[in-house]
């Protein structure tokens, strides 16, 4: 699970059209970092989900960290969207929660576990990757 950090502030500061550009750019950056077999999706609002088939938790954490860095390093050009803003490029960060499917788990359990890890990432300062642990 992926959440764009402080996305409401982007909308409030630069306008909803700039927020839409942030969503499009983040999605593009995320997709560019994935394998053809991986499945990225917008989950809702400023949240995304990525399924990494046949990937162990440690590998998924490495992918998540790669995604985090790629989004953080991307400058998003809003100059054509918000001509009144003195800011021409903005950057955003993402928080990620990683969980591994275990035999017998439902899809709902997998999503709940990833969401718990995402909540921990946000609670721990954002712009970070956290994994699901049984004691969350």
Residues that are catalytic: 46
DSSP-derived 3-state class of residue 92: coil
Q: Are 110 and 101 in contact (CB under 8 A)?
A: yes
Q: If 0-12 CB within 10 Å is exposed, 13-18 middle and 19+ buried, where does residue 76 land?
A: buried
Distance from C-alpha of 11 to C-alpha of 20, rounded to nearest angstrom:
9
Q: What is the 3-state secondary structure (H, E, C) of 10-68?
A: HHHHHCHHHHHHHHHHHHHHHHHCCCCCCEEEEEECCEEEEECCCCCHHHHHHHHHHHH
């Amino acid at each position: 699970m992926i959440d764009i950090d402080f996305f409401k502030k982007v909308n409030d500061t630069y306008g909803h059209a700039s927020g839409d550009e942030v969503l499009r750019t983040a999605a593009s950056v995320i997709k560019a970092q994935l394998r053809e077999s991986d499945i990225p999706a917008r989950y809702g609002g400023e949240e995304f989900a990525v399924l990494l088939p046949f990937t162990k938790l440690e590998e998924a954490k490495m992918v998540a960290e790669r995604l985090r860095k790629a989004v953080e390093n991307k400058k998003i050009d809003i100059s054509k969207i918000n001509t009144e803003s003195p800011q021409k490029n903005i950057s955003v960060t993402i928080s990620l929660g990683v969980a591994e499917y275990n035999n017998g788990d439902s899809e709902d359990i997998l999503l709940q576990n990833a969401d718990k890890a995402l909540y921990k990432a946000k609670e721990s300062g954002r712009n970070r990757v956290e994994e699901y642990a049984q004691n969350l």
